[in-house]
Structure 1
Amino acid sequence: MAEHIIYLLGPYQIPGFQGERNVRVYLPSEGAQGEPAPVLFLFDGQNVFHDDPSYSGGWHLHHAVRDLVERGLAAPVLVGIDHGGSERLTELSPFPAEGSEGRLGDFLDWITSEIVPAVRERFAVRRDPDGTAIGGSSMGGLAALYAHFRRPDVFGAALCMSPSLWFAEGKIFDFVASQPVPASSRLYIDAGAQEDNGSVLRDAARLVEHLRERGYGDQSLLFCPDEAGTHSEDAWRRRAPGALQFLFVEAAKEHPAGDGGGTDGEQQAA
């Protein structure tokens, strides 16, 4: 197959935020014809692809996507949205806390009003929530979870690796509990037992228990505890192929394009 080609969009200036940042887009099949592909928007775009832009190594997620293509399986277009360096904590936190103004809502407004339409206009991607996911790790995993429940009309799935559920005294738990279950909702959640003496994994397990009680079954929620997992790009890179498999390959089998996902239960509200 052809070499990996990653399109660079930007640089963008975000109203109310300092500095500029780029958006990187990877297509699973260059020049492929046919149905639009699902799309995965990712926070911390510097970490999504190569090692160089990341201070601790990249996920090499384009290699995982290419592997799906070579196996003839459903694969997403990847959209990595760069963080703003010193602005990162403020733009990825849903709630104010020490060291953060909690402006994820503003950041999401920019993503959904400018980046999502730009990607849809330039690339052959799906436009329905069931075919549009958002993801990240650590604070990015927290941001992805919040984004899914705040904007389910755009993001029908979320990839949440080692989410920082503890942030702002765990306010995300009350937020999720207060929101109706989205009509299209597919969640991948993981954490490592070696992260912060196991507290990240315990928080993730608490979230999963709540979601199970809300009607999420095996088709709409995958929880992957990692006994050897650390809070690192290496661990997230290792678990990423399984996340893609669940969010896109299994989803394509269960819900073809245009067939809404939803949870396995009947209840759609809190």
Structure 2
Amino acid sequence: MGRVSEDEVSVMTHDAEPTGGRRGASAPARRHPPKTRRPTPAPVVASPAITALEARIAELRAHPDGVHTPQTLVDAFRAEHASSPIIEPDPAGVPGLRVVTFALHDAAAERVLLFVNRLTDETDLDRSLMRRVPDTDLWHLSYRMPDDWIASYSYSVQRPGHLAPWERQPDQRGVRDALDHGLADPRNPSQITNRAGVRISVAALPHAPAEPWRAVRDGVPQGRLTAHAGPDGRRLWIYEPAAGDHGAVAPAPTPVLVVLDGDVWCDAQPLPTILDNMIADAAIPPVTAVFVDSADRERRWAELDAHGGIVDWLADRLRPWLVARLGGAIDLAPRRVVVAGQSLGGLAALAAVVRRPDAFGGAIAQSAALWQPDVAREAAACPPRGARIDLQVGLQEWVLLEPTRDLAAQLADDGVDVVLTEVDGGHDYAWWRRTLPTALRRQLAEPQDAEADPA
């Protein structure tokens, strides 16, 4: 975390007590998301480019010329298609569709599994095994996808004499861990860091959401990012926006953005840089962001679960700590405090505005874990009409898509200010970081009036 000011770093620990109402209480048994098959198999198709290559190889085998071999034809193909994946027009000419071909050159591989976020069905991995062009080093697999599709992907390679990485695991969790530690595509410079901390590749078709604010820009002042031991010793990072050309702290008071899984978003996913650039472009006002560490996997599941207690910790422990630390530099009126999260974090963000409207007025819930129905039921019983809610979900998330649509419709019918955004993608940082700014612009828009929040 190169941006974190060293002189601001306090002693930090992962061993703090559980949050909020969980302290000293017996927690319900951990619930697991359902492992259901894709409702329809991923749309595997033949690539016109690969088909033409195989035709040339077949012609060569029928009529050897003494010069070329199947591998030399593949080498020429590789030079012609220098980047991966290969994106081609739909062979049937259907507007809005493309053929996406993943191509890996590995002569020593025995089998290669292509792991594409939510195209790969973890209950049927054989469908994601790549095909090899015989007598060459080329492995390939093609899908027919809408031209706004985006997904992260990686390769898992079986070597001769060894079990495949995905087959030497004792359970589904081990299989997923093996898939999360795949290899990035060496011919694709677009990469992202997954939840396991592994660099993997990103396939983004021409009309996928853009990310104009991701890269550091010359001349844009950087906000200050500092690390702290927050309430109960939990690790926190605070982003304070810069103002002017010299990086001075922005005028007070600013709205507050609370980011769950903050350890990911202030490092692997460059949200501080995104905020710098959005503020510089006047896309959002200056904002103070608080990145909340999720610690290890088990603690994350325990705390961000619908029964986990993180919401009360944010309201009753974090808010007073922020007042003591930042005072008048921040505006903690509920309408000016937004909670953002993904997956279980998205569920917790929703729970924040449903359960604690006295503390939180905005929620950005990306791919919220609505396979847990508790929060949606609470919202139906007591609609959070004073909140602004942004729901975002991937069209490839077959477990979450319909519950998210249902919740959006329910909230709208109940008069809640809700916006639903659907992205052709999976459960994936590849699109979460691209569409988060859209929700930030709406959530952080300056208030239209100066009326105080109702008592």
TM-score after normalising by structure 1? 0.77
SS of residue in 1 equivalent to 2:267: coil
- The 10-residue stretch of structure 1 (79-88 or 142-151) with the greater mean CA deviation from structure 2: 79-88
**Equivalent of 2:442 in 231, 235, 246:** 246
SS in 1 for 2:254: coil
1:48-63 equivalences in 2 (<5 Å) = 48-51=265-268, 58=269, 60-63=270-273
Cα deviation code 1:146-202 (max 9, x no counterpart): 1111000000111101100012xx2222111112434x311111000112xx23121
Q: What is the alpha-carbon distance in structure 2 between the residues aligned to residue 138 and residue 89 of structure 1?
A: 11
Pick one of 423, 429, 435 that aligns with 1:226.
423
Residue 109 of structure 1 aligns to which amino acid in structure 2?
D
Q: 2:348: which partner in 1?
A: 143
Q: CA deviation at 1:11?
A: 5.6
In 2 relative to 1, CA 7–210 (structure 1 residues): closer, same or farther, beyond 3 Å? same
Seen in structure 2, the aligned counterparts of structure 1 residues 28 and 127 have a Cα distance that, compared at 3 Å, is same
SS in 1 for 2:365: strand
Q: How many residues align?
A: 227
1:10 aligns with 2:207: no
- Aligned: 1:213 with 2:413: yes
3-state secondary structure, aligned to 1:160 = strand
Q: What letter is aligned with 1:87? A: R
Counterpart-to-counterpart distance in 2, 1:21 and 1:6: 16
In structure 2, C-alpha distance between the alignment counterparts of 1:74 and 1:2, rounded to whole Å? 14
Give the aligned residue type for 1:203: P
Distance between the aligned counterparts of 1:3 and 1:187, measured in 2?
28
- Aligned match of 2:448: 255
Equivalent position to 2:235, from 7, 22, 39: 22
Quick one: distance in 2 between partners of 1:117 and 1:31? 25
Whether the 8 Å contact between 2:250 and 2:286 is mirrored in structure 1 is no
Alignment of 1:101-180 (within 5 A): 102-104=307-309, 107-123=310-326, 124-167=329-372, 170-180=373-383
Relative to structure 1, the CA distance from residue 48 to residue 147 in structure 2 (aligned partners, 3 Å threshold; closer, same or farther) is same
Q: Which residue of 1 aligns with 2:8?
A: none
Q: Tell me if 1:90 matches 2:309.
A: no
> Structure 1 258/76 Cα, relative in aligned 2: closer, same or farther at 3 Å?
farther
Compared with structure 1, are the counterparts of its residues 12 and 114 closer, same or farther at alpha carbon in structure 2 (3 Å cutoff)? closer
Deviations 1:202-261 (Å, cap 9, x if unpaired)?
A: 111100000111013xxx22211112x221122211111111111113xx1x53455559
SS at match of 2:409: helix
* Partner secondary structure for residue 194 of structure 1: coil
SS at match of 2:303: helix
Structure 2 unaligned regions, length at least 5: 1-219
Query: Structure 1 residues 172 and 82, CA, compared in 2 at 3 Å: closer, same or farther?
Result: same
Q: What is the rounded CA distance, in whole Å, between the counterparts of 2:252 and 2:222 in structure 1?
A: 22
| 2:280 maps to which of 67, 70, 73 | 70
- Distance in 2 between the 1:33 and 1:165 partners? 37
Letter of the 1:226 partner, please give it.
Answer: V
Q: CA deviation at 1:143?
A: 0.7
- Matched with 2:68 is none
* Deviation readout 1:49-98 (Å, 9 max, x if unpaired): 211xxxxxx2x21122112211234142111111131211111112xxxx
Distance, in Å, in 2 between the alignment partners of 1:143 and 1:214 is 21
Q: Between the two proteins, what is the percent identity of the paired residues?
A: 26
Higher helix content, 1 or 2:
1
- In the alignment, residue 39 of structure 1 is paired with which amino acid? V
Q: What amino acid is the match of 1:50?
A: D
Q: Specify every segment of 5 or more residues in structure 1 that has no aligned partner in the other structure, as ranges.
A: 14-19, 52-57, 95-101, 262-270
Q: Distance in 1 between matches of 2:415 and 2:314?
A: 29
Displacement over 6 Å in runs of 4+? none
Secondary structure class of the residue paired with 1:165? coil
Q: CA RMSD in A?
A: 2.0
- SS of structure 2 residue aligned to 1:164: coil
Secondary structure of 1:109's aligned partner: helix
Q: CA shift at 1:28, angstroms?
A: 2.0
Spell out, residue by residue over 1:125-146, the C-alpha distance to the aligned partner (whole angstroms, 9 max, x if none). 1020011111100000001101
- The answer to whether the 8 Å contact 1:64/1:240 transfers is no
